[in-house]
């Protein structure tokens, strides 16, 4: 999700943004490119945490809803991608390939919300 400030988060309700490998905030207005963060340390850590069932900093909104017994964007999107997109098998293959590859994703994103 892009912001007018140039920052980008991995979700429309995330309270955190992409970071460059040097720890600085990713910023489209300063010439940063999505290719630089797609497989950087920060993004690979987020993927690993999500797949390991760990809490991801910035995703508190969804965890709070889930703790109260409500569906969240996270659970809804997981369901939608697997059940309704018709691409569930492809997603599983990408996930398994990513796990074997240090949580890198060599394929282009399936969806971007600009």
What DSSP line would sit under 12-25, residue for residue? TT-SS--B-TTSPB
Q: Is the pLDDT of residue 69 over 80?
A: yes
Q: Is the pLDDT of residue 24 over 90?
A: yes
Question: Which pLDDT does position 114 carry in this prediction?
Answer: 58
Question: Which pLDDT does position 67 carry in this prediction?
Answer: 97
Give the mean pLDDT of 59-81.
93
Q: Rounded to whole angstroms, how far apart are CA atoms 87 and 110?
A: 10
Choose among 55, 59, 56, 47: nearest CA to 95: 47
Question: Which pLDDT does position 102 carry in this prediction?
Answer: 96
Which residues lie across from 8 on neighbouring strands? 2
Q: Rounded to whole angstroms, how far apart are CA atoms 76 and 106?
A: 25
Q: What rounded mean pLDDT belongs to the chain?
A: 90
Alpha helices in 1-114 (DSSP H): 34-38, 41-51, 60-67, 73-79, 88-100
Q: Is the pLDDT of residue 97 over 90?
A: yes
User: CB count, 10 Å around CB of 14?
Assistant: 21
Residue-range domain boundaries for the chain: 38-100
């Amino acid at each position: 999700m892009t912001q007018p400030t140039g920052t980008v988060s991995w979700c429309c309700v995330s309270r955190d943004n992409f970071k460059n490998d040097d720890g600085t905030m990713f910023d489209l207005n300063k010439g940063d490119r999505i290719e630089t963060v797609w497989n950087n340390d920060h993004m690979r850590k987020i993927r690993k945490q999500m797949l390991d069932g760990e809490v991801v900093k910035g995703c508190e909104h969804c965890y709070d809803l889930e703790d109260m017994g409500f569906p969240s964007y996270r659970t809804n999107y997981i369901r939608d991608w697997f059940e309704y997109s018709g691409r569930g098998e492809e997603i599983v293959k990408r996930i398994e390939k990513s796990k074997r590859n240090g949580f890198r994703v060599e394929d282009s994103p399936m969806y971007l919300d600009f």
